[in-house]
Structure 1
Amino acid sequence: MNIVIINNLARFPGTARWDFDLVRYDDFIDHRAHRVSYIVNRRGRSAITASADSYRLYELDHLDDASAYRPILNGIVQSSGPIDRLIVFSESLQDLASQLRAEFDIPGKKPDENRLGRDKLVMKQKVAAAGLRAPRYTSVNSTRIEHALAFAADTGYPLILKPIDGQSSHGVRKITDAAQLRAAVADLPSDGEWDLEEFVTGTLMHIDGLVDQAGKVTLVVPSRYINTCLEFAAGAPLGAIMLEPGTALYAYVSRFATQCIKAIGLKACPFHLELFHTNNDDLVFLEVGARVGGADVPSMIHQATGINLFGEWVNMSLDQPAMLHAPIRSIGAWLMFPRPNGLPLRVQSVTRFDRSLESLYRQLVPEAGQLIEHEDGYCSMQSGRFLFNADSSQQVTRDVEYVLHAFRIETTLP
């Protein structure tokens, strides 16, 4: 096969950092049996660990401009024939990848199929049409202020306003009254769509897994969030603890998530679905991404099941044998503390938990004296990142709660 990989994910081999260490392209793809080309930015070069004579490399300053790819892909086609697969892991590049597949007639997700895991209006419409609970919602832009106000009058405040294809809570706003809504909608572009939806109160959960080429959900791993992505952006820690298999809640959440994936129509991909469990014991779909979950979700799942979601995504894409199901053999959790405000800052002291907690098996904290600078994405150097795994859900929960209360970081100006 003639395979092109677009990569902006970073690896740091030989260091304490584990950012995207499950992304192992040369393990997933035989670089001698296939013709492999990488298109990367400077950050993405670090994830290429194959022998230098087994691939072609193209580097761009920015990976978000489709026009920059066209001469590269045309050159690959001229030298090696039609492109058989275009592999892209990053959420931020899924739209671009689907556009390039359509332009160059590359098998895989084209724009219409890609929208199922990107467009929050489309996915909620499909979930609701299947008789499953989703937030009430409407499409808005700066020309629909009165429509937004009428929706709010009917639905009630607060409301959530967000991009239809955003990620990591970027651009998400909580709207508490009519004046705030009027101003927020007036500031939107006049074209395109934004998602205005009902605010749902409940426990937020993420459900991760795999769906095969026929649309059958083969792996489901439900977890309960600790805080939300929006709260993390405001300075709170963020994490999640897996639900215990065999419990009623595990079965309830897994069944609902599976029904949502089937209703939306995702195929041949991993998924990262979020939903609310309300105080009335209802489940409410929030959104889904047709990709591997962010932060340390893939590491947690790999430890608990043995499945590398990135690798099985590639296997499905290349029609290679894939391990799409495995029993959950332990309970995992992940936890991270955001970087402090006012960066860059130098670390004076930071809490470590070396060999003090039974379920804590990996931690990444900056060293005293280290300079903390801004980095994009959850999988980066934060104030602290922690991974937990044990046979006992109670043990994992106790250890996570201990770290939540005991972790401290002190910084000073550089």
Structure 2
Amino acid sequence: MNIVLLSPHFPAQQYHYAEALKAQGARVFGLGDEPPQGLSDALAKVLDGYFYVSDLHHYDELLRTCGQIIWHHGKIDRLESLNEYWLETEAALRTDFNIPGLKNEQMAAIKEKAEMKRLFQANGVPCAAGILVDSLQQALDFGESQGYPLVLKPNIGVGASQTFKISDAESLRSHLSGPAPRGGWMLEEYIDGEIFTFDGLCDRSGQPVFYTSMVYSDGVMEVVNSDDHVAFYTLREIPADLDALGRQLLSLFPVQERFFHFEFFRQHGDKSLKALEVNLRPAGGPSVDMYNFAHDIDLYHEWANIVLHNHFNTRVERKYFCAYAGRKQHKPYLHSHHDIVARWHHLLLEADTLPGVFRRAMGDYFYLLRSANERDILEAIAFIQAC
């Protein structure tokens, strides 16, 4: 099979997908805007070819380059980025070249929060009340009927960019006074709760061959807007209600041969779940590495196995809790890196910096830890992030 990976150089761990495909016999081609000399040795050595474009946002250039790949190497069997930012670009290229996978006509339910919410509501999935803003008066009427606080966010967006907690009508007027983002604004009720995820990988028929869950210390909106640090960790047991709701969402979206990352609020009051959003790609940062550490498996290999052969050969056992603890340079932490290593070396898996584009949501620096004991994980997170 000929597999094209879009932007295979970023984030850095993306090379594992190319490596896994190559190890199982695929011909792997990179298509990116990083000059060839900027590719890591680990990535360059597993690519059968790298096609450089000046800017991945220039669609005409991508069309021409995919045409060159087909002319020189034959049809493209799969095209993937495994990155939220490029999902629409992937779909457009698949549509134009008739490549299997998500196409243009499927993007609305995946990228537009209003359409996602419509699907939730039509199928009885509990979710936050919300509207696609048509006018200031409509938004003010929603605030009057729903009550404050509210959440204002782009209908089409990545992460928590331009996402705001709205405390009153004056704040709402202020935020709506400027130009709207692409796709318009979504205005929703504010949910007071913890974020839980239902994450995994599906085979070609859309059946989950691997699934897990994570719980977050804070929502991304709160972390970004307050420039705070974040922590999250995988669970060893998935709550029954989360499992049921996650599986219901799998039946509503085109998850075939894809990773998925579904986000839910567990409300602080009655502990019930409300769906937040659906993402048809892996969770961000080193999450796939965390799944691997938590289960002692290799999901990069198994993803490639699904793509090439539709097989998943690993027995899944949730052996550990695996945690991510982020830190930000401006915060006055009580414990140094040396202190952390000395105290938690027996749990520590990795410690590294993050690219600047991720710092607001995930931190400047992070630690990965694992333990079979949840209390160990919580104590380690508290130690690392103590100020």
TM-score (norm 1): 0.82
Aligned residues of 1:85 and 1:318 also touching (Cα < 8 A): no
Per-residue deviation, 1:79 = 2.1
Indicate the residue corresponding to 1:263 in structure 2. 252
Matches of 2:352 and 2:43 in 1, distance apart? 29
Over 4 Å off, 4+ runs: 50-54, 378-382
Indicate the residue corresponding to 2:370 in structure 1. 389
Comparing 314-323 with 107-116, greater Cα deviation is found at: 314-323
Matches of 2:97 and 2:2 in 1, distance apart? 13
1:302 to 2:298 alignment: no
1:228 to 2:209 alignment: no
- 1:171-250 matches, cutoff 5 A: 171-189=162-180, 192-233=183-224, 234-245=226-237, 250=239
**Which structure has the highest helix share of the two?**
2
Indicate the residue corresponding to 1:2 in structure 2. 2
Cα pair distance change 1:137/1:381, threshold 3 Å: closer
Matches of 2:161 and 2:107 in 1, distance apart? 20
Cα pair distance change 1:313/1:65, threshold 3 Å: farther
Amino acid of the residue matched to residue 303 of structure 1?
Answer: F
Per-residue deviation, 1:219 = 2.6
Aligned residues of 2:127 and 2:274 also touching (Cα < 8 A): yes
Indicate the residue corresponding to 2:52 in structure 1. 59
- The number of residue pairs the alignment matches comes to 380
Aligned residues of 1:212 and 1:324 also touching (Cα < 8 A): no
Matches of 2:45 and 2:210 in 1, distance apart? 35
Per-residue deviation, 1:113 = 2.7
Indicate the residue corresponding to 2:130 in structure 1. 137
Per-residue deviation, 1:243 = 2.9
Unpaired segments of 5 or more residues in structure 1?
Answer: 12-18, 342-348, 367-371, 407-414
Indicate the residue corresponding to 1:39 in structure 2. 31
* Structure 1 vs Structure 2 CA RMSD: 3.0
Per-residue deviation, 1:127 = 1.9
TM-score (norm 2): 0.87
- 1:60-139 matches, cutoff 5 A: 60-139=53-132
Cα pair distance change 1:264/1:87, threshold 3 Å: closer
Indicate the residue corresponding to 1:290 in structure 2. 280
Per-residue deviation, 1:97 = 0.6
Aligned residues of 1:359 and 1:399 also touching (Cα < 8 A): no
Aligned residues of 2:8 and 2:14 also touching (Cα < 8 A): no
Aligned residues of 1:8 and 1:41 also touching (Cα < 8 A): no
Matches of 1:325 and 1:186 in 2, distance apart? 54
Of the candidates 276, 295, 300, which is equivalent to residue 265 of structure 2?
A: 276
User: What's the CA shift string for 1:292-347, capped at 9, x where partnerless?
Assistant: 10123212111011344444334333344234761211111111113439xxxxxx
Unpaired segments of 5 or more residues in structure 2?
Answer: none
Cα pair distance change 1:6/1:198, threshold 3 Å: same
Of the candidates 305, 315, 329, which is equivalent to residue 315 of structure 1?
A: 305
Matches of 1:65 and 1:378 in 2, distance apart? 27
Per-residue deviation, 1:57 = 1.4
Amino acid of the residue matched to residue 242 of structure 2?
Answer: V
Cα pair distance change 1:21/1:386, threshold 3 Å: farther
